[in-house]
Amino acid sequence: MSEAAEKFETAMPAWKQWQEAPWGRLRYAIAEANLLRHFGERADEPLRVLDLAGGDDGDALRLAVRGHHVTIADYAPAMLTAAAGCVAAAGLTDLVSCVEADANALPADIVRGEFDVVLCHNLLQYVE
């Protein structure tokens, strides 16, 4: 496991606490509203979404509930484990898949994949 992935594992409890706080929930609600606005007329049809650095599903679950197919790519195993648990609990395993991958070195099947949307919410501030 990379040093960066270990850092995210250690920070998981604080991250969850931030997400559940009013400002965390608000940030994800605003991100969802902005994203749906950009989907336009296609918002109601099932889209294929690549969620780079998707973490523990903050965006993916919201999109899957709307019927979109989401691939979460993240390099932190703890984040992906948390995402898989949330997705399973919501009964959405047929709409969300989790792939351990670095956004700077994606596996060939993702690079060649066809996605309607690539989401990079909460990614840029963590890369050099």
pLDDT of residue 124: 65
pLDDT of residue 5: 65
Kindly give the parts of the chain with pLDDT less than 70. Answer: 1, 4-5, 8, 124-127
- CA distances 104 to 34, 109, 124, 127, Å, are 25, 14, 11, 9
The pTM assigned to this predicted structure is: 0.83
Q: In what order do the strands lie in the sheet with 117-119?
A: 96-100, 69-74, 48-52, 117-119
pLDDT of residue 6: 73
pLDDT of residue 88: 96
